């Protein structure tokens, strides 16, 4: 039994290397490095990590992130020993103790945030699904061009009928990050490879990585047994997670609900040191 961690990274090689070191030694680690950055600094000191050859530009809110994840799944599932695939970013870090993370990996449940969409109360309003979004997305969500496109899409973008475009398939959405059992990961990859209707529709959805995988796997899920999505993010509005505090980390580590948290930076070693302390001793 092998747990595979699928990592997307585009900045902070030092943080990435610290993450890799914190993952279980027997894990399979498969990584996609954004095509816009030099991959060599990420590869330094990571001889056991598999870096996918096909690198894409994974812009904010665009389809590229889904395509990159497809490539990660292809590589991970080529290993017949892999029993779980967990998608995280290079700015994530485990917050469970090693023993708890090992138990978490071995439980035969799918973990993801999933709910019917649209759902404005959960940040998934109708315009995200019935307006046509720019496929490539934008490098910087804070740029004037990205902000203008966001407003224009919401107010003026061509309307679509999601139910008709998906051939009647039910639409679901949730968090970007998930952890699938092998059978669910294989099912998701089969949909990604063979369902052209899904690909055509979601390639023009705003932030498709928050809905493509949920919609893909929903038909085979037992909703009564779904586990929590793997990664804690602190949202306070805007396109980026809010900075983590020591109080956030102590609370979430003690709660045991999430296996990871984000975003971390190598420029904040005191927070990472705190997490390492919690992972070794447990919260006090």
In a domain, 101, yes or no: yes
- Dist CA 109 CA 25 (whole Å): 22
CATH of the domain at 174: 3.90.550
- The angle subtended at Cα 78 by Cα 38 and Cα 103, nearest 5°, is 90
CB 3: neighbour CB atoms within 10 A? 22
Predicted TM-score of the model (pTM): 0.94
In a domain, 56, yes or no: yes
In a domain, 240, yes or no: yes
β 93-94/260-262 pair status? antiparallel
Nearest residue to 213 (alpha-carbon basis) of 202, 204, 224, 222: 202
Number of domains present in the structure of the chain: 1
Give residue 283's pLDDT: 54
- DSSP structure string for 105-150: HHS---B---EES-BGGGTB-THHHHBPPPTT-BS-TTSHHHHHHH
In a domain, 141, yes or no: no
Give residue 284's pLDDT: 47
pLDDT tens-digit profile, the chain (284 residues): 799 999 999 999 999 999 999 999 999 999 999 999 999 999 999 999 999 999 999 998 899 999 999 999 999 999 999 999 999 999 999 999 999 999 999 999 999 999 999 999 888 999 999 999 988 888 888 899 989 988 888 888 889 999 999 998 999 999 999 999 999 999 999 999 999 999 999 999 999 999 999 999 999 999 999 999 999 998 877 777 888 889 988 898 888 899 999 999 999 999 999 999 999 886 54
In a domain, 139, yes or no: no
Q: What is the torsion angle, in degrees rounded to the nearest 10, for the CA atoms of residue 87, residue 93, residue 98 and residue 102?
A: -10
Q: Which domain holds residue 250?
A: 2-120+162-281
In a domain, 233, yes or no: yes
| Residue whose token pair is 């990592």 | 7
Give residue 188's pLDDT: 98
In a domain, 104, yes or no: yes
- The angle subtended at Cα 55 by Cα 166 and Cα 58, nearest 5°, is 55
In a domain, 31, yes or no: yes
């Amino acid at each position: 039994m092998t747990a595979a961690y699928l990592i997307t990274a585009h900045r902070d090689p030092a943080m990435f290397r610290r993450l890799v070191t914190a993952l279980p030694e027997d894990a399979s680690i498969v990584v996609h490095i954004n095509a816009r950055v030099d991959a060599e600094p990420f590869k330094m000191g990571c001889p056991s990590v598999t870096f996918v050859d096909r690198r894409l530009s994974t812009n904010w809110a665009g389809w590229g992130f889904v395509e990159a994840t497809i490539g990660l799944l292809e590589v991970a599932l080529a290993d017949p020993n892999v029993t779980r695939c967990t998608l995280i970013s290079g700015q994530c870090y485990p917050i469970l103790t090693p023993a708890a993370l090992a138990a978490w990996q071995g439980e035969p449940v799918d973990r993801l945030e999933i709910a019917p969409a649209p759902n404005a109360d959960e940040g998934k309003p109708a315009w995200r699904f019935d307006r046509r979004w720019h496929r490539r997305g934008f490098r910087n969500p804070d740029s004037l061009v990205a902000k203008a496109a966001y407003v224009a899409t919401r107010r003026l973008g061509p309307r679509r009928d999601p139910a008709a475009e998906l051939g009647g398939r039910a639409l679901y959405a949730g968090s970007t990050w998930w952890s699938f059992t092998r059978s669910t990961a294989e099912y998701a990859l089969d949909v990604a490879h063979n369902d052209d209707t899904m690909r055509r529709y979601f390639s023009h959805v705003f932030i498709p990585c928050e809905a493509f995988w949920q919609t893909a796997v929903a038909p085979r899920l037992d909703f009564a047994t779904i586990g929590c999505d793997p990664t804690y993010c602190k949202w306070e509005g805007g396109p980026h997670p809010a900075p983590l505090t020591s109080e956030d980390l102590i609370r979430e580590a003690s709660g045991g609900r999430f296996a990871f948290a984000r975003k971390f930076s190598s420029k904040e070693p005191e927070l990472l040191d705190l997490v390492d302390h919690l992972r070794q001793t447990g919260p006090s």
